[in-house]
Structures are given as structure tokens and as C-alpha cells.
Chains A and B, each alone.
Chain A
């Protein structure tokens, strides 16, 4: 009797793990969105600088990251900010931001990274449509 119970448990786990494997394969191999954007070599260099300096400790991208600094998803396309604003901030050491000593090439790479992130979508998604069932239709960048 006890062995039958264990057998059932193992069968359920095998079924769940099989679903999990298929789900993972789909997530890992499918296109992430309708029009995927591939990071350029320069943007990848910027991503490396972002990681090496733990920029996510204070800043967010799509609301994911730290809370001491602002979200930077759309800082590049913000009419009041943009490329020069980003570069000026990087080595300024204002308020809680540590004073970095990025070279011009490093600043360019970080800007390229932020520019490509900006092209993927909006955050916060202020034009999202809230449905009565609690669902939210988000606005994709290529829809505008």
C-alpha cells in the first residue's frame, strides 16, 4: 500500500518535470518577443561595465534592480535627458552616486547599452490598458 503511494508520487513528479522540461525548452529557444533586438558588440561592452560596477544595486531596468537611483529603461529617449545627460552623470559623483572614472570609450559603451535597452520597450508602461479581469495589455515599442 505504502509502496503504491510512493509510486503515484513519483509518477506525478515525473509528469511535472516533463512539463517543466518542455516549458524550459520553449522559453530558451523561442523568440522572446515579436521583434527581438540583438545587442551590438559595443552595447555588450556597456553591459559588461554595467555588471562589473553593479549598477543594478542602485538603478533599475524594467523596474528590476535597486531603489537608490532612478529606473534607466528609457533614459536615452527621454527628451530632458539623453546621451549627454547620461555621460555627464557617470563621473560626476553627485548625491549617492559614487564618483566613477570611466574613459570616453567606456561612457560610449554604456550609452550604447542604454540606447538598445530603450529600443526594447517602455517602463513604466504608462499607456498599458487595464482589463476588468485584472489583466494588463502592455504597450510594445514597435506598436506605436
Chain B
């Protein structure tokens, strides 16, 4: 079955990934060279450009992967191919409008959603169309849904909800109460990330079960138990972001209780899968397999960090420092991007009819992971220094503390550059195959 639109989602996602890393590099440069081009590319423009673009990478690649799996791997007839095209069209046009909004300084929004709020309406419309297409297709064709179908459905519904919630500040009764406003804002962000994780982790389980050729991996009681635990976490476990905002203690208590169990979920599933893999299966889909293993490693590292910083006594010192950034980079690059790259390598093997062998991209793979590890460690170090400054250095100004981190920021940029280069090489490799596949589908009459 043809599905050019799914390929276009993935092609757009990879271009956006390259662009997002470039914006990230330019933003990181300002930490070591604060005066450099600050009027031309100030951080108050570069940061929203970077964050919006990398979030778009996650959303587009996850959405494109799901459309591809449904139509080209599961061979289900989509409820409406027209809706899928409209969905892509809306996302592309809104993406352009967002860049115009950010470049020309029309930024009436908030952190992570800095663009003018009206542009969220078409984004929501795109998600509604995706939801209609997804649920209508799956309900019609699938009984006894494997876990990934539940996870993708949950992700779509909760993304719509939390995207709306992120704009409650437009209502005066929220906006005027600063503490409540801050709490609700960060509640929506935390749960929004949990929602896209439902899409991404669902993809991880899907690719695993396909590599292993065993759908029972996604149907067991244990898997569903972890899914419900993850869902509870998505709903109630966001408040570690706001432990020190002076709100009512019960909100913070509740969050402490349910915090971070979601990580245990994924590491458990991936380990169970890895244990049972045969050697022959490992040789299939080798780049996809390697990236799932990389995600496995990053889940382990981030699990430790996440569990530690969810303890209020530790969060007191780490909150507001680069340790939080290290955690978010570790999860968005190490876990989300690794899983999504695994998905793309899996898809490429399907469209090409042959697997991209690990040997071919071995060096790039190791450079990606090792540069990310150093980049991550540099941020942990910077965070530890800032925590020490916040609580124990009485006579040092913020500016002096930043100056003392000069070499750290240089390392942050250099390893960011190496990481961005490896990501670009991987993206170009995937783009070449996807472009060919798109042309082939466009000229095919079937």
C-alpha cells in the first residue's frame, strides 16, 4: 500500500532535526562568547527556535513512524488518507508561521511555546485529525490491541489535553494568581513530555516486537501493568519541577510518591527483550537494534539521575542548575532521539528492502554516543558548580560564577558541535533513502 505522506512526515522530521541542532549550537555559543552576535542572534530568539524545532523533530518523526507502521507494516487501510494529508499540510504551514513569529519577535507565548498563542489552534486541529484517523483505523481493524496501540492512543489524547492546559494562563483568573499560574504551566509541560513519551516508548516496543517477530511481547500482563503505572505518572508525577514553588504541600507530597516510575517501565521491557534475542535476530535490522541498545544505556543513566533529582532533599540543590538541563538533554537526545532513529532505520530497512548494516555507520554511532556522554557530563559538572555557588558561596556574584565556567562552556560547545555533526550524518544517510523511496512511490502507479 502506498503512503507518500507518511514518508513526507519523516523527511520533514529529519530536516527539522538538522535545523534544531544548528539552532542549539548557535544558542550554546552564547554561553562562552556572550557578546558574539548577541544583537543578531540573541538567546531570547535562539532558545525558542531551538526548543520548538527539536520538539517538532520528536513530534513529526513519531507521527510519521506511526502512520508508516499502520499503513505499510500492519497493512491497515487508513480511515482517511485525505485527513493524513491535511494533517501534514497544517503542521507544515503552522511550522512556517511559527518561525515567522519567532524571527520577527511576535512572541507573546511562554517558555517552550513562545510563539504567538493563536498558532496553537491549527496545531490542535492537526492533533484532532490525527486522533480521528488513528482511532477510526485501529478500532475498525484491530481487536485485542497490543500495548503500543494503547500507548499511541493515550499519547494523542493527552497531548491534546495538555496543550490546551498550557494555555490556561490566557484566562485572567489563572494569569493573575502567579503561583497557581506557574504550577499549572509546569504541570502542563511535565505531562506534555509524558504524553509524547507515550508515543516514543510505544514506538520502541513496536520496533522491538517486530525485530523479535513476537507480538506477545506487547500483550503480557506485566507490560500493561507498567503502562498503567506510566499513565499514573504522566497524570500525577509532574510536580518535581515545582518542589520549591511555594504551593500547597500535598501537591508536592503526591508527586514525590509517584515520581519517576516510568523509567523503570522502559528499562524493564528493553532488558527482557534483549535477554531473549537470538543471535540471528540481532544481525537483522542492525542499526535499529544498536540505537535501541543506545536508548537502553541512556534510560539506565537517566533513570539514576531522575530518581535522584526527584528526591526533594537532592532537588533542593540541583533544581535551577545545569543538572536539570543534563537530564533533559539525556532524555531528549539519548532516549527519545535514539528510539526515533531506531524507528527510522527500521523504516528505511522496510522501504529499501535491505538493512543498513551497523558496520557502515559504526564510527558515527560511537561518536554520537560518546560525544553525548561528554556533553552530558559537562552539564552535570556545570550544574554542580552552580549548586555550590547558590548555597555555599556568599561573596561571588552570578557573573563571576559564570566566568569561572568559561572552559566548561567551551567544552559544552565543542562536544555539542561533534554531537550535531554525527546527528547530521545520520540524518543525511536516512534522508537519501527516504527521498529515493518517496520518488519511487510518486512514480509508481500502484
Query: Inter-chain contact count A-B, CB under 8 Å?
Result: 175
B155 on the A face (CB < 8 A): no
B248 at the interface (CB under 8 A from A): yes
Whole-angstrom CA separation of A68 from B346 in the bound complex: 39
- Proximity string of chain B (190-215) to chain A, C-beta cutoff 8 Å, 1 when within and 0 when not: 00000000000000000000000000
Does A96 sit at the interface, judged by CB under 8 A?
yes
Interface size class of B (residues with CB under 8 A): 35 or more
Min CB distance, B194 to chain A, in Å? 12
Complex Cα distance, B312 from A52, in Å, reads 33
Given contacts A51-B110, A54-B107, A98-B39, A63 and B320 within 8 Å (CB-CB): yes
Query: Which residues from chain A contact B168 at a C-beta distance below 8 Å?
Result: 28
> A27-B187, A70-B398 known; A130 and B34 CB under 8 Å?
no
Q: Could you write out 20 A-B pairs with CB less than 8 Å apart?
A: A27-B183, A38-B176, A44-B176, A53-B44, A57-B47, A64-B111, A67-B325, A68-B31, A96-B35, A96-B38, A117-B178, A121-B179, A123-B244, A124-B320, A128-B316, A134-B311, A134-B313, A135-B253, A136-B312, A136-B313
A64 contacts B186, CB within 8 Å?
Answer: yes
Contact between A135 and B399, CB atoms less than 8 A apart = no
Taking a contact as CB atoms closer than 8 A, the residue among A47, A54, A136 that contacts B243 in the complex is A136
Interface flag for B303 (CB, 8 Å):
no
Answer yes or no: B180 CB below 8 A from chain A CBs. yes
Q: What 7 A-B pairs come out closest when comparing CB atoms? A: A63-B320, A96-B34, A121-B246, A32-B180, A54-B44, A70-B398, A2-B144
Residue B290 interfacial (CB < 8 Å): no
A102 in the interface, Cβ–Cβ < 8 Å?
no
A62 close to B316 (CB less than 8 A): no
Q: Quick check: B320 and A16 within 8 Å, CB to CB?
A: no
Q: Please encode chain A, from 128 to 141, with 1 for each CB lying within 8 Å of some chain B CB and 0 for all others.
A: 10110011101011
How many residues on chain A are close to B (CB under 8 Å)?
Answer: 66
A64 touches B320 (CB 8 A): yes
Q: By the criterion CB–CB under 8 Å, are B35 and A95 in contact?
A: yes
Residues on B facing A (Cβ under 8 Å): 30-31, 34-35, 38-39, 42-48, 105, 107-111, 114, 143-145, 150, 168, 174-180, 182-184, 186-187, 224, 228, 231-232, 235-236, 241-248, 251, 253, 256, 311-316, 319-322, 325, 386, 390-391, 398-399, 402
Docked CA distance A53–B92 (Å): 25
By a CB distance below 8 angstroms, the chain A residues around B231 are 13, 16
Q: Which residues of B lie under 8 Å from residue A117 when comparing CB positions?
A: 178
- Which residue among B150, B224, B246, B325 has the maximum number of chain A CB atoms within 10 Å of its CB? B246
CB distance from A60 to the nearest CB of B (A): 6
The answer to whether B235 touches A37 (Cβ under 8 A) is: no
Question: Chain A contacts of B34 at CB under 8 A?
Answer: 68, 95-96
Partner of A33, one of B174, B246, B322: B246
Say yes or no: A135 contacts B256, CB within 8 Å.
yes
Q: Is the CB of A61 within 8 A of B182?
A: yes
How far does the alpha carbon of A3 sit from the alpha carbon of B76 in the complex, in Å? Answer: 21
Which single member of B108, B243, B311 contacts A52 (CB below 8 Å)?
B108
Do B107 and A121 touch (CB < 8 A)? no
Residues of A within 8 A of B325 (CB): 67
Q: Which residues in B have their C-beta under 8 angstroms from that of A58?
A: 43-44, 47
Q: What is the bound-complex CA distance between A128 and B79, given in angstroms?
A: 56
Asked if residues A27 and B184 are in contact (CB atoms below 8 Å), the reply is yes
Beyond A136-B313, A138-B246, A140-B246, list 6 extra A-B contacts (CB 8 Å): A27-B183, A30-B248, A44-B175, A62-B242, A128-B316, A136-B244
A39 to B181, CA, bound (A): 11
Produce 1/0 per residue, A25-44, CB < 8 A to B. 00110111100111100001
Check B145–A57 contact: CB distance below 8 A.
no
Q: Contacts A32-B248, A64-B241; is A120 near B179 (CB within 8 Å)?
A: yes
Residue with the highest number of chain B CB atoms closer than 10 Å, among A57, A126, A130, A131: A57
A9 within 8 A of B: yes
Nearest CB on B from A67, distance (A): 6
Chain A positions 38-86 with a Cβ under 8 Å from a chain B Cβ: 38-39, 44, 47-48, 51-58, 60-71
Contact B177 A38 (CB under 8 A): yes
